[in-house]
Amino acid sequence: MHSIAAPQTTDEPSDPGIDSLVDGFDRPIRTLLAVWAHPDDETYLGGGLAAEVASRGGRVVNVTATLGEHGDPRPTPSPPAELARRRSAELRRALDRLGVDGSIVLGYVDGSCDRVPEAIASRRVATIIDDIRPDAIVSFGPDGVTGHPDHCAVSRWARRAVMERGDGIPLLATASGAAWPADLVDRMHEVEAFWPHHPRRTIDGPVRRLELSGRRLDQKMAALDAHRSQIGPLQNALGPSGYRRLAAVEAYRPANPAAHDLLGVARQRTAA
């Protein structure tokens, strides 16, 4: 493990902005811990939230399980070690553009997270929680949005780590797959952005769908642009307008009772 220092353009303008999510929290978020699988997850799925918390003077710490060294979308992939170096640099640039304070890379092999013993990986996340002492945590839901096995494994690690610490830290799960515009999801299927039967388009329980706009959306777009090794297929499939519409949407749901309280929604049984 090592550390490195570190919107209305859509079809549904009635959705509230990311600032309304943070405004509505039942407590200040002075430290947000984000737990993801690969470089670029943090920006696509939670970039607006991270930037909003950071802009209010909060500390945001980003955990990335792998460097995505096997995730080269080009016909002739780079050697894994070379791509890992490139994606590490891209991650640093993206986090800097979001205003994120720090990053922790767990160093697992890309594509192997579902084979890492859950008890070991969740213990590493728990150690980070004990060190960072976050006011809230954001990660994947059980479906991993795209269905990627690494995403689903990281969701389990985060959930177990929070549960083993008494389940008192609010855990937010991204629900972007249920919130992205349907026409964009259809085009994403054409470039095989999802595992079979994903994304889940309906989610049990409350989901906060949000729109980024203006400077916050521009900030997220700049962070996405840092991930140059990854963004080409989606940009080509969606076109400039569609890609911006995708980036503008973020969605979150409570993954534990404390997150219901954070969001100010009635508690109910959660599956995450």
Residue pLDDT, tens place only, 111-128: 999 999 999 999 999 999
Instruction: Determine contact, residues 238/248, Cβ cutoff 8 Å.
Output: no
Q: What average pLDDT does the chain have?
A: 91
Measured distance CA(59)–CA(141) in Å, rounded: 23
pLDDT band at 268 (very low <50, low <70, confident <90, very high): low
* pLDDT over threshold 50, residue 11: no
* pLDDT over threshold 90, residue 101: no
Instruction: Determine contact, residues 179/203, Cβ cutoff 8 Å.
Output: no
Nearest Cα residue to 34 out of 115, 116, 102: 102
Q: What is the pLDDT of residues 214-226, one digit of tens each?
A: 999 999 999 999 9
Measured distance CA(44)–CA(227) in Å, rounded: 10
**How many other CB atoms are there within 10 angstroms of residue 130's CB atom?**
10
Please give the pLDDT value at position 16.
Answer: 80
Cβ neighbours for 212, distance < 8 A, ≥ 6 positions apart: 7, 17, 18, 48, 220, 247, 248, 249, 250
Residue found under tokens 């049984």: 269
Is the bond preceding 142 in cis, omega lying within 30 degrees of 0?
Answer: no
The DSSP H or E segment spanning 119 is helix 118-132
pLDDT band at 73 (very low <50, low <70, confident <90, very high): confident
